[in-house]
Amino acid sequence: MPAAFRPNPLRALWHGLLPAGGLAVAGALSLPVLVVAASLLLPVEPTWGGFLQVVLPRYVRNTVWLLVGVGVGTLVVGVGTAWLVSAYQFPGRRICEAALLLPLAVPAYLLAYTYADLLQYAGPVQSALRAWWGWQRGYFFPEIRSLGGAVFVLTFVLYPYVYLLSRAAFLEQSSTVWEVSRTLGHGPWSTFLRVALPVARPGIVAGLSLAGMEVLADFGTVKYFELDTFATGIYLVWFSFGSPVGAAKLAAWLMGFVLAVVALERLSRGRRRYHRPPGPQRTTRPPRLGGTRAAAAAAACLAPPLLGFGVPGAYLAWMAWVAGDPLWGSPFLRLAGNTFALASAAAGAAVVVSAVVAYGLRLRPTPVMRFAARVVSLGYAVPGVVVAVGVLVPFGWLDNFVDGLFRRWWGISTGLVLTGTVFALVYAYLVRFLAAALSAIEAGLSRIGPTLEGAARTLGHGPTSVLLRVHAPLMRGSVFTAALLVFADALKELPATLVLRPFNFDTLAVRVYQLASDERLAQASTAGLCIVAVGLLPVLLLDRAVHRSRLEDAGTGWGRPSVARPIDRTVKLRLA
């Protein structure tokens, strides 16, 4: 028998270790979520139990109103702009398609800080209005630091989720269906409401669910606007009142809200399925708008990115030019180095772990492995402050246990080995953002046919060799996408970093939060611009992939899959 076909016990053992490694990784990364869920079984001190009974209704009320307000706002803005750029042609449509994605690069807390400074009483907007119209102190002006202000800020940051998935759903619909609707006497508005909107419902609801989970995860905006929600309550109970159990119970309630949002999205689908007919379909060019209608469509599509990216970006750039961070120089470079090192470590670890889990699932696609992959993906739906609580509780217990053993046996104290370390912070990033990397890696592996793997195996290569020498070169784009998505998300993450960072170890996000909390937004603008600049990279990559996907569909027919869809699939799989 040739050597390539002889059974190798070590190779067979390693072949089984890869799926086992995927299961072990899934168990390790699901620990924070399980710890938070188990906290509901723990008793709470009577004092904190009464406190939670008092504040819990207010947290629920504010969280629900915030979800409803942002849901309505993102629905109107996201679906409306997606329909305009999908169903009509007008001058500047391609620019609008790209610009509508730009707010994804701006963290919500940066938008909150910017608009609060712009629209406050002493800000440039009200000062200009008073000077122009001669207003006195008694005039009415909307208060930005309120529930309505938070809804405004989060709407113009999160509408791209609804826009992206709604636009994909509209583009997948055959234009012949719209033509039939028009020949039956229905106008553009009736066709949109009675034909296009119902068929696009899965994408719209998925986008709304993503936006809702981001609302629940937000900490910086609601904290700066002094709005009591679950995210701010967890931070208050843990650090101001010193009650880990109370904070964990609030975190469990918040995680329940997240699961409720996902469950509602699943229930809204029911047994309904929306499929396109197979094979190429005849498409027609969308109708061209002209004159006033074209100008109105372009204005409607440019207003959201202007409010969500243009205004805050320009204001931050102006403040950075006029004032800027006083630590500019070696201290600021140290902050930037900390941020980039953490984000790079998280991105590298996410790519490696995702490759182990995804390849283990490819080798052994058993129900257990599928369940493990879905459990790992659950962390993306959990807010950062919940992940921080879920990491602190077991790590703190383990540190105390190890310290007690060393004190008992050798009379020395080990102190905090895991809690308050860079390892704990990278671990939290991994729990929080692994789903983004895993979906991109899975998309890359799915495009590699099993025949290549079979040919390599017949030539004597084991699973690891096949992964490194065959799969890795073919999915370099997916690996780069996964690393870039995790890097950008980790760069913007605030609550987990704020809670878990080591002593005297700050990042750009923490620097922005600290300066803005002290009302020093001009000094925070420098770090904020750095975060926005790096966040633009995955947004530009996403726009390029979506545009390529549209060109391929237009040139080959809608029946063929596009090779430029792994990023779009990454966004959709955040709900998986």
DSSP string, 274-297: --PPSS-----PPPBP-HHHHHHH
Q: What is the pLDDT of residue 470?
A: 66
Q: What is the pLDDT of residue 279?
A: 45
Phi, psi for 89 (deg, rounded to 5): -110, 135
Environment class of residue 210 by beta-carbon count within 10 Å: exposed (0-12), middle (13-18) or buried (19+)?
Answer: buried
Q: What is the pLDDT of residue 275?
A: 47
Pair 565, 549: CB distance under 8 Å: yes
Q: What is the pLDDT of residue 360?
A: 74
CA distance linking residue 438 with residue 324, whole number of Å: 38
Provide the phi-psi class of 153: left if phi over 0, else alpha when psi is between -120 and 50, else beta: alpha
Pair 379, 353: CB distance under 8 Å: no
| Tokens at 153, concatenated | 């800020």
Please report where in the chains the tokens 């990042």 appear, as a residue. Answer: 507
pTM of the model: 0.78
Q: What is the pLDDT of residue 280?
A: 45
H or E stretch at 510 = helix 508-517
Q: What is the pLDDT of residue 75?
A: 92
Q: What is the pLDDT of residue 65?
A: 92
Q: What is the pLDDT of residue 558?
A: 36
Q: Give the side-chain half-sphere CA count within 13 A for 303.
A: 11
- Which residues of the chain, if any, have pLDDT below 50? 1-8, 10, 12-14, 274-275, 277-282, 556-576
